[in-house]
Structure 1
Amino acid sequence: MGDTPESSPAKKTGQLSNPLNTGIPFNSDTTRPSVSAISLNTTLFKHDALSKDAHNWTTWSRQFIQCLRMNQGADAYLTGKVPQPNCFAEPRAYSNWWANNGSILGFMGLTISESEQEIIDDATTAEDTWTKLKDRHSQEGPVKQVQLIRDALAIRYSTSEKFASTSSKLTTLNKRIWAMGAPSPELFLCILMINSMSGLPELRSTRKNVAQALAASDGPDIDPDKEPLRRRYDSTDIKRALDTAQGLVDSESRSMVYCTWWRDGRKDD
């Protein structure tokens, strides 16, 4: 003789395991919903608005995550670690989930530039929105750092401009460079190699191809054994590209020598 539904201890304690397709709410959802409502404290966030022009994704995202983390771990919504409850089985938890999601989206919208807002307009969850922003800003990578470093190194103090103005430019560029993250030794070597190709016409196309390949990759610090689906591009790849360029330069040099020899020989005739 088993327990009847009326006398089941599980039902009396409100812990009845409910199939999600019954349309009957969990008894515990009313008093102890699996997802609680979160009241975000946005005063903790102190950062300029996210902007691709400012290249401040690294510092902005770090502070945004930290701010949400201090709000009852709300940063978990950014990575999908808080599963969406079933609207029939847990109506209150479901409502709380969407309210929390909406609060994070609203908070995020207030901390990004208008151009960033256009990118996430069609996203409905914090996870989708975060992924869109992350993908957008991760495309910049080391190539943009090369450009910013070159711009900074090209600046000189001059009597034609106030020294304070030049210092301000350097300060701004320095912030933008480091806001993209500190380069690893391997990444910095890639930056040095790309930068060293500038100014040489014979390496113009090589530099362009290398820069595009590096930008399209997942960077030089990926471990292919641990992350086989991600694409690594490092100084070894750049060296191979330079070897190919060197072969073309050598071939053209031999052709020039041959043409000169042939021309001079014709003159002697």
Structure 2
Amino acid sequence: MTDSTEYTRPSSPVSIVSDPTFGPLPPPPPPPPPDRKDMSTMSSDTTRPSVSIITLNTSLFKHDSLSKDLNHFSSWKRQVIQTLRMNQGADGYLDGRILPPNKETEPRAYSNWNANNGSILGFMGLVIDDAEQEVIEEAKTAEAAWKILVQRHAQEGPVKQVQLIQEALSVRYSSSEKYSTTSSKLTTLNKRIWDMGSLSSELFLCIIMINLMSNVPELCATRENVAQQFAQSDGTDPDLNRHRFVDSKFSRIGSSPPEMHRSRMS
């Protein structure tokens, strides 16, 4: 049996094979055009990048260098934010509002973002002391460094917190100062107190006892040692039992002074 259907033999590899029923096959579709959005982004990135270089004016900053010993993080923080805000809104690098652009589609904007991030990190390093610089040394972005400092100083230690409470309670309204100024001081102190977190009842009791030791000579050494442990606790309960302060010294506070013992014996 002979097949009467004839096929056209391709003369070259690119010849189109004829179909006996439907005729020649259609040519393959052309490749899709490049994404106009990507082309537009690349073009605008060259002339008008989404992130521009910021030349920081650091002369606007008027504050002492940040130090954990000075207990002034709130005012320092406010100064840093205001200074960067005056520099084309660069404070957005601190809270993550200004994100890095795509490196592939916006190479120039990405480069500018990294330069700005480095400038802000450098500025932060100039307005903190050596101890603070060591804390943020490994941070790669201004946002990461800022989070570290905020967390470090939000819990400045229970002793400092009680000192702020005492300072707030000592403030008085006076005719020599505007009432609004005094109210502003109290508002600032109140915010700083609560930004440090809450104290446990046991911890607060220990701090009260420490303050009451100041007039007892035989307890001065204990007071200094325990206060040092509190100051280094960064808001957490210090391990007082490790030094046996509670058992060997605190229990003595409940006993009578030596003078009372002598008077009872006589």
Give the TM-score normalised by structure 2.
0.53
Q: Taking structure 1 as reference, are residues 88 and 195 closer, same or farther at Cα in structure 2, changes over 3 Å only?
A: same
Q: Taking structure 1 as reference, are residues 132 and 215 closer, same or farther at Cα in structure 2, changes over 3 Å only?
A: same
Q: Taking structure 1 as reference, are residues 180 and 68 closer, same or farther at Cα in structure 2, changes over 3 Å only?
A: farther
Q: Structure 1, unaligned stretches of length 5 or more?
A: 19-23, 154-174, 218-269
Give distance in 2, aligned partners of 1:62 and 1:34: 27
Greater share of residues in helix: 1
- Aligned residue number for residue 113 of structure 1: 129
Correspondence for 1:134 among 130, 135, 150? 150
- Aligned residue number for residue 228 of structure 1: none
Correspondence for 2:80 among 64, 69, 74? 64
Paired residues, what number? Answer: 177
1:148 to partner: Cα distance: 5.9
Residues 51, 113 of structure 2: 8 Å contact kept:
yes
Give distance in 2, aligned partners of 1:216 and 1:137: 13
Deviations 1:8-66 (A, max 9, x none): xx84xxxx246xxxxx9721101111111111111110000000011111100111001
Residues 55, 179 of structure 1: 8 Å contact kept:
no
Q: Structure 2, unaligned stretches of length 5 or more?
A: 1-31, 170-184, 214-218, 238-266
Give distance in 2, aligned partners of 1:30 and 1:45: 33
CA RMSD, 1 decimal: 4.3
Residues 164, 193 of structure 2: 8 Å contact kept:
no
- Aligned residue number for residue 222 of structure 1: none
Correspondence for 2:235 among 197, 212, 215? 215
Percent sequence identity over aligned pairs: 53
What one-letter code is carried by the residue in structure 2 that aligns with 1:119? Answer: V
Is residue 94 of structure 2 the alignment partner of residue 94 of structure 1? no
Give distance in 2, aligned partners of 1:88 and 1:122: 26
1:78 to partner: Cα distance: 0.4
Give distance in 2, aligned partners of 1:179 and 1:105: 29
Q: Taking structure 1 as reference, are residues 38 and 215 closer, same or farther at Cα in structure 2, changes over 3 Å only?
A: same
Q: Which of these two proteins has the greater Rg computed from alpha carbons?
A: 2
Give the TM-score normalised by structure 1.
0.52
1:182 to partner: Cα distance: 4.7
SS state of the match for residue 48, structure 1?
Answer: coil
